[in-house]
Structure 1
Amino acid sequence: MIAAVDGSEHSLRALEWARTAALRHGTGLLVAHVLPEATQLYAGRRSALHDPNEPEEYADPVGDRVRAILEASPERPAEIRYEALEGSVPAALRVISGEGSPRMLVMGSRGRGGFAALLLGSNSRAVATTASCPVVVVPHAGRDAAADPAGEAAGASAGKVVLGLHVTETPEDVLSFAFAEAAARGTTVQVVSAYAIPPGPANVLGGPFAVIPPEALADEGDSVPAEREMLRAQTRRLEAVRGRYPDVPVEQAAEPGNAAGRLVEASRSAALVVVGRHHPRVRSLLIGSVAHAVLQHAHGPVAVVPALTDEDAEL
C-alpha cells in the first residue's frame, strides 16, 4: 500500500485512508514524498523517517509530520516505510507504482501547490491516468461526504463498493479489484452501467435509479427493454468474478445515456467508487470521459484501476 504525501491537508487525509486500508488488507504501508525541486539534492539521505540528530540540511518536515501522525494513530500497519523521491510528482509516483506490485496508491485530490478552486489537481489526474497500479483519489474535506477522512465515523466502511461497468470494455482486473475491496469490507458491490436511450416519447426520469438484485432479472417488471437487456448483459459479464467471490452480495443498476452522474451521486454514500482505465501501454486510451467526470466531481474516494494483464490490455 502506497500513500503519496506532500504535507498538505489533502495528502494527510489520503495517508489516513491508506493506513486504514493497509490494516484492512493486512499489508505494509509505504509513504512516498516527492520532494520540492529545491531540496531534491538530499533525497538519497531520506530513505527513512527523519532522525532529529541529523544535520539540518537533511531535515524533512513532511517526514517528521508523517511520523508524528502515524505514531499517534490507534493502530498501525506492521511495516511502515518512508521514501523521499526525486523528479516530478507524476513521474516519480509512476515509477514507484510499478515496483513490487503494490495493491494501490492513495493520494489526495490535489496537493500543496494546487489552486483552491480546482476539485482535482493536475498531479492527481496525471498519476491516476498513468500509474501501473490502482490509484485511489481521496477528495478534500469540502467534498467528502463524511467528516472522518477514513470514513469510519460516518459509517462509510459499511457503505457499498460502487463499480462503474462498461460490459464490453471494462478490464477484468477492474471487476476483480472492486469485488476484492467489497470482500475485505464485508459489503455489497453495486454495479452501474449505461445503456442507449431508445427512440420514442421523452422519458421522465425522477428520483434515484432502480437497484435490482440479480435474482429479480427473470421478472420483466416495468423496465424498458434496453434497461433489461443491459442488466442481463451485466449478469453475463459478472459471472466469472462472482464465481471467485461467491459471498459478496451484488446489486445491479442501469442508467440511460451516461453513468457518470449516477456514479458521482452514489459517491456521497459509497465506501469506494471503482472505475477502469486501459493498460498503461495503450497511451491513447488511458481514461474515458466517465472516469474523468467521476474523478473530477466525486464526493468520496474513487479508485481508478488499470488493466494489469496482457489479456485485459487487448480489450
Structure 2
Amino acid sequence: MTNAMVIAAVDGSEHSLKALEWARAAAVRHGTGLVVAHVLSDSAQLYAARRSSLQDSTEPEHFEDPVSDRIRALLTAAGPLPSEVRYESLEGSVPEALREAGEGARMLVMGSRGRGGFAALLLGSNSRAVATSAACPVVVVAHEARGVAAASQPSAGRVVLGLHAAETADNVVEFAFAEALARATTLQVVSAYSVPPVPTMVIDSPFAVIPPEALVGEDENAVPAEREMLRSQTERLAPFRARYPGVSVEQAAVPGDAAGRLVDTSNSAALVVVGRHHPRRHIRSLMIGSVANAVLQHAHGPVAVVPTLTEPSELSASAGI
C-alpha cells in the first residue's frame, strides 16, 4: 500500500473543495500521488454517448468540463503539491464510479455533502453510499454545518481510533497508526464497556485517558470492566506499538455510548478512525456497524471509515467498540 494513491472526489461544491485540500495534504504527508476524480455531469455523459453512437467526427472530442478547469486552477494555487497529480473524469453514477476508482487506493477523500440534496442534511447520500461500500478507506470531511472546530487547521489534533479489542480488524488499527505517524501526533484509542456504571459515576463526565505504563498497578477507583477493557486494549495494541515505536499512544475506556464519545472527541481530532463492519458477519448482512454509522453521521471533523480486509488478532475481550 506504500505507493497507493490518495483520491480526492470533487464536484465543484465547497464541501468537495475542502475534501480536495485535505486529500492534497494527506498525499504530501504520505509521500504518494494524488488523483483528482470528478464524475461527469449527466449532460456531459449524454454528449459522450451520443458522439460515440453517431460516430460523428465533426463534433468536438471533449465536452467542456468547467469543474475540472476550476479544480486545476485551485490546486495549482494551493500549498505544496504531491510528486504526482492526475485528473480523471469518470462516467456512471457517482457511487459506482468512485467505488471503481478507489480500488487499490490508499484512501478516497470526499466531502460530507455534495451539490445536491437538502441543505439541512449532515451527510449526503453519495458520501454515505461510498463510505459504506468502497474497497478502500474512505475519509469523509465534515462541512461547516457541523461546527468544525479545527477547520482552519486540518493537520491539528490527534488521531482517534474507535477500537473493539476482539473485533476491530488489523488493517483498521494499522491505518490509524500510519495516520498518527504521518502527522507526528498522538493516537488516542477509545473503547467502550457495556456494564452498568457504578452509582457514583457521572455518565457525562470526561473520560479518563490512561497511558499504557500506568496500567501496571491496580487502580482501586476503576470499575473491574474498565480495568479489563484497558488491559485488553494494551494486549491488542502491543504488536502495533512495536511496529510503530514513534507513535505515542493514549488509551481510554468509557462506559456506555461509544459513538457519543467518539463524536465528542472529533471536535478537536485531526481524524477519527472507525472500522466499517463486523468481520465475522457476511459482508452483505451489515455494510456498516451502528457505531461507525453514528460517527459518520454526526462527527464534527474528518472521519475515516476503513473496510475490514483482515481478521482481528485472536484476543479475548468482554466488550468494546
TM-score strictly above 0.5: yes
State the identity as a percent. Answer: 71
Q: Distance in 2 between matches of 1:226 and 1:74?
A: 47
State the SS of the aligned residue for 1:251.
strand
- In the alignment, is the contact (CA less than 8 A) between 2:158 and 2:271 conserved in 1? yes
Q: How far apart, in 2, do the equivalents of 1:313 and 1:124 lie?
A: 30
Corresponding residue number in structure 1 for 2:15: 10
1:163–1:175 contact (8 Å) kept in structure 2: yes
Give the superposition deviation at 1:43. Answer: 5.8
Residue 136 (1) aligns with residue 134 (2): no
Distance between the aligned counterparts of 2:213 and 2:184, measured in 1? 20
Partner letter of residue 300 of structure 2?
H
- Report the CA distance between 1:145 and its aligned residue: 1.6
Partner residue in 1 for 2:268: 269
| Deviations 1:138-184, CA, capped at 9 Å, x for gaps | 01123222232xx24xxxx2411000001111111000000000001
Number of the residue aligned with 1:126: 129
Q: Which AA in structure 1 matches 2:261?
A: R
Q: 1:253 to 1:214 in 2, by over 3 A?
A: same
SS at match of 1:304: strand
Q: Which amino acid aligns with 1:250?
A: V
CA contact (8 A) 1:307 1:313 kept: no
**1:61-88 superposed Cα distances (whole Å, 9 cap, x missing partner):** 1101100101111311121111111111
The residue identity in structure 1 corresponding to 2:149 is A
Shift of 1:103: 0.7
Shift of 1:277: 1.4
Out of 23, 32, 40, the position equivalent to 1:27 is 32
| 1:116 matched residue in structure 2 | 119
Match of 1:48 in 2: none
Match of 1:214 among 212, 215, 226: 212
Paired residues of 1:7 and 1:62 also in contact (CA < 8 A): yes
With the length of structure 1 as denominator, give the TM-score of the two structures.
Answer: 0.89
Question: Which SS does the other structure have where 2:273 is aligned?
Answer: strand
| Structure 1 contact 191–250 (Cα < 8 Å) conserved | yes
Partner of 2:305: 304
Partner of 1:147: 151
The whole-number CA distance in structure 2 between the counterparts of 1:37 and 1:14 is 22
**Separation in structure 1 between the aligned mates of residue 307 and residue 65 of structure 2, nearest angstrom:** 32
Partner of 2:235: 236
Q: 1:213/1:199 Cα in 2 relative to 1: closer, same or farther (>3 Å)? A: closer
Superposed displacement of residue 57, structure 1: 6.2
Task: Give matches, 1:34-73, under 5 Å.
Answer: 34-41=39-46, 55=60, 58-73=63-78
Aligned to 2:56: none
Q: Which runs of 5+ in 1 are unaligned?
A: 45-53
Name 1:49's counterpart in structure 2.
Answer: none
- 1: distance between equivalents of 2:231 and 2:173? 16
**For residue 248 of structure 1, what is the aligned residue in structure 2?**
247
Counterpart CA distance in 1 for 2:270 and 2:298 is: 16
Deviation at 1:200, TM superposition (A): 5.8
Q: Pick closer, same or farther for the CA change 1:57–1:95 going to 2, 3 Å.
A: closer
Question: What is the distance in 2 between the residues matched to 1:207 and 1:170?
Answer: 26
Contact 2:198 2:223 in 1 (8 A): no
Runs (4+) of structure 1 moved beyond 6 Å? none
Deviation of residue 37 (structure 1)? 1.8
Shift of 1:199: 7.0
CA distance in 2, matches of 1:313, 1:229: 17
Q: 1:32 to 1:216 in 2, by over 3 A?
A: same
**One-letter amino acid of the counterpart of residue 145, structure 1:** A
In angstroms, what is the RMSD of aligned CA positions?
2.3
Using the alignment, how far apart are the partners of 2:203 and 2:159 within structure 1? Answer: 24
Residues in 1 aligned to 2:282 and 2:86: alpha-carbon distance in whole angstroms: 29
CA drift of 1:207 comes to: 2.8
Equivalent residue for 2:293? 292
TM-score, normalised via structure 2 length: 0.87
User: How big is the shift at 1:258?
Assistant: 2.1
